[in-house]
Structure 1
Amino acid sequence: MTAYFANALFDGESIHQSVFFQLENGFITSIETNVELDALQKGTTHLDGLVSAGFIDTQVNGGGGVLFNHEQSVDALAEMAAGHAQFGTTSMLPTLITDSMQKMDSAANAVALAIAQDISSIVGIHFEGPHISLPKKGIHSAQHVRSISDAELQTFTRKDIGKVLITVAPENLPTDIISELVQNGVIVSLGHSAASLETTMQAIDAGARGFTHLFNAMSGLTAREPGLIAAALNDVRVSSGLIADMHHVAPYNCLLAYKCIGPERLMLVTDAMAHVGSDISTLPWLDSTITRHDSKLTLNDGSLAGSCLDMASAVRNMYGCIADAKTAEVSIAEALTAETQITDTKTAQSKMNEATINEAKETALKNTLNMASKVPARFLGLNNVGTLRVGQQADFVLLDDQLSVEASWRKGLLLP
């Protein structure tokens, strides 16, 4: 039995103060709130900050200096996991960008071994392609973009590789195949696509239930051609991944996605390359080079090439977008209210404003943390992580006042 006292703990619904919780065999066995620190038994570890569920990233191309397309092995996965663990990621899907059938099988084999050996945070695999649209391929290799064959079907439906997420262009994958994949437990997400709204909706009707890196590499929203973006913003059956690095998506569009989709279906992803958790600045890719410029990755021609975003930074960025907007909305509302309440003193009005703004900021924080944990857990069908409750797996992070990660735990074990 291991015991902790946290200054604050977010369980997925509420932020509790002065929390004592215990773990056994990797699971949470008890949680008590409003506990006096002085009354705790010896051996209790004090966590000075906010404890929240571990972050879950469904799109991780690389980390720790390793790119999954370049190396498919258990050691490579361990390096990727370690690179992201320091930023709060306790569950992840290593992601293979469009590549050969041989690379796909090699990636699946590596993930199967990692899961069998319980290698850190690996819970499945994300195949981003190869069944995508050439006009929307982004940095994906045109050479390997192709229609589906029996070989890919067999790999996608393997039962030893955990949760399987695939990104497809619906115009490049028949709806009966989508239905077959979904019936076999594969999670189908739409992206790298120039599909019309009609084709997109047919894919959703067939069982697709996600959109990959919303706003990027997908048919745009225009007056008479709604495209993928309109479906993502409107259809309550689907969830969307969002790269909140402030380069892939403008802050105002991050806020738009939040308002339209809501915190129950919008999830943060990194789309991280090998640079995260590493000091490398350049990385070869096809016939070009991916170079890091501060918080941005580009190819030689200046186009975006994945990200060097980590989940903790994604949380900070998204919280900033939401909290600033919430504060502005509250301030405007209170100013209008004050016009009709001239009997209130300035002091009372100021206190009310401060309390209301603080409440709005707390809501923004809770929703943002859920977008990094609870929402992706639900999307992947991971029932024992994503929230902190008795009986749940003890995957959690400790955050400071700036939402930087102080430490991460998976199955109750402190990650290196």
Structure 2
Amino acid sequence: MGLTTSPVSDSQIDKQHSLLLRNLKLFDGETFQEGKAVLVENGKVSLIVEEDQLRSDVANAEDLGGKLLVPGFVDVQVNGGGGVMFNDEQSTDALATIANGHRKFGTTTLLPTFITDSFENMQAAAGAMQDAIKVGLPGIRGVHFEGPYFSMERRGVHAAEFVRAVDDGALDLFTQDGLGATIVTLAPEQVPADFINALSNAGVRVCAGHTSATYEQAVGGFAAGVSGVTHLYNAMPPMMNREPGLIGAAYDHSDIYCGLIVDGHHLHHSTARTVISCKSTQKIMLVTDAMATVGSDKKSFNLYGTEIFVENGRLATSEGQLAGSDLNMMDAVRLTRDELGVEFGEALRMASLYPATYLGLENQIGKIAVGFDADFALIDEAADKVVRTWIKGKGANS
């Protein structure tokens, strides 16, 4: 089915596998529209039609009360959620808990992120991801390995005991079948260029992060296959007048994607506005870098044996060192609009279409369009709150 100009009735819809969403405001990933209805069949958008083309007797219709339907958010950096950290438990149950913790804030696709750890635990994380992909766990489309091939100086809260040179089996681990969309964050100056090149050629998205790279080393990494920067400005040298480093290299290369944590703790809002002024938002991905507290009532959790506390939205050790974030994607979109001055539709794209494009999924998610997966978030604009989500047409209340 495609666009239609004649009235749609029950007889045109496969009622057993269909869902009709009506009385809504639509942001389809490109424009805001009024007076539309969206038909979902077998988990995909099959029809977008004028509301007045619908007969009142169409079955399986849900009235959305005039709220805003948007493409579900895509978060490529999620360490934990729902009270669980991926590093603490490598299982489909843990991944389901993390995904559900973020789903209530509009995230319908995420990459659970496994931070610096032993090679054995990295293998366990890969196995859990393969299991999750095999059973079609809602919201899980791939994995992000953040570390362990980092600059010791820029490791942040990543455990020093696990920061190391490239493991013998790393290439096979990262490129094995069944992991879905895969990101590996590494310090380009700490690994051989041919390792980066082999990952990139195998379809892995390689990001630079937790790095002391000079401008020249960063550009060399880009040439080898680095295509993104993990949490720009954080865990890398500051941009200086004669030493622009990775930040300057990312600004200079328009094809490089950048993750941005806009919680106001990782970056001053002025700095984030500078990023947007210097780099096309089409290459900026809103990320949460979320920890276990998001989507749970927890006010602290354990990381490598150290207690991490949340206070006023900031996650840190007792000594005050930042340790991931307590940010969710709906708040990231709101802050991008309200504090960074980005038009609402563009802020939504930074949370959906642009990360989907980076992952190579731009023909499946990131828009509400015929043939795309029915991954949606329903926003109550008056409250700036996600009230419902759908993943492949299956709904859940937030």
Q: Structure 2 counterpart of 1:369, which letter?
A: L
TM-score, normalization: structure 1? 0.88
CA distance in 1, matches of 2:55, 2:384: 28
Q: Structure 1 counterpart of 2:205, which letter?
A: I
CA distance in 2, matches of 1:257, 1:415: 35
Q: Shift of residue 98 of structure 1?
A: 0.4
- Contact kept? 1:5, 1:37, Cα under 8 Å: no
Give the structure 1 partner of residue 366 of structure 2: 386
Cα shift readout 1:8-28 (whole Å, capped 9, x = no counterpart): 111111111121110100000
Cα shift readout 1:320-371 (whole Å, capped 9, x = no counterpart): 1233xx7xxxxxxxxxxxxxxxxxxxxxxxxxxxxxxxxxxxxx01100000
Q: Shift of residue 6 of structure 1?
A: 4.1
Q: Structure 1 counterpart of 2:372, which letter?
A: Q
Give the structure 2 partner of residue 58 of structure 1: 76
| Structure 1 segments unaligned to the other structure (5+ residues) | 327-363
- Contact kept? 2:196, 2:206, Cα under 8 Å: yes
Q: Shift of residue 42 of structure 1?
A: 4.1
Q: Shift of residue 234 of structure 1?
A: 2.5
CA distance in 2, matches of 1:322, 1:289: 32
Percent of aligned positions with the same letter in both sequences? Answer: 41
Q: Shift of residue 287 of structure 1?
A: 4.1
Give the structure 2 partner of residue 126 of structure 1: 144
Mapping 1:15-414, distance limit 5 Å: 15-33=32-50, 35-36=51-52, 40-43=56-59, 44-47=61-64, 48-323=66-341, 364-382=343-361, 383-401=363-381, 402-414=383-395
CA distance in 2, matches of 1:209, 1:415: 34
- Contact kept? 2:269, 2:340, Cα under 8 Å: no
SS at match of 2:281: coil
Give the structure 1 partner of residue 20 of structure 2: 3
Q: Structure 2 counterpart of 1:52, which letter?
A: V
- Contact kept? 1:272, 1:308, Cα under 8 Å: yes
Q: Structure 2 counterpart of 1:12, which letter?
A: G
The structure that is helix-richer by fraction is: 1
CA distance in 2, matches of 1:38, 1:294: 47
| Structure 2 segments unaligned to the other structure (5+ residues) | 1-17
CA distance in 1, matches of 2:297, 2:94: 16
CA radius of gyration, larger in? 1
Distance 1:40 1:249, change over 3 A: farther
Q: What is the root-mean-square deviation in Å for CA atoms of aligned residues?
A: 1.4
- Contact kept? 1:51, 1:397, Cα under 8 Å: yes
- Contact kept? 1:6, 1:50, Cα under 8 Å: no
Distance 1:9 1:142, change over 3 A: same
Q: How many aligned positions are there?
A: 376
SS at match of 2:236: coil
CA distance in 2, matches of 1:21, 1:177: 45
Q: Shift of residue 300 of structure 1?
A: 1.3
Q: Structure 1 counterpart of 2:216, which letter?
A: E
Q: Structure 2 counterpart of 1:368, which letter?
A: A
- Contact kept? 2:254, 2:280, Cα under 8 Å: no
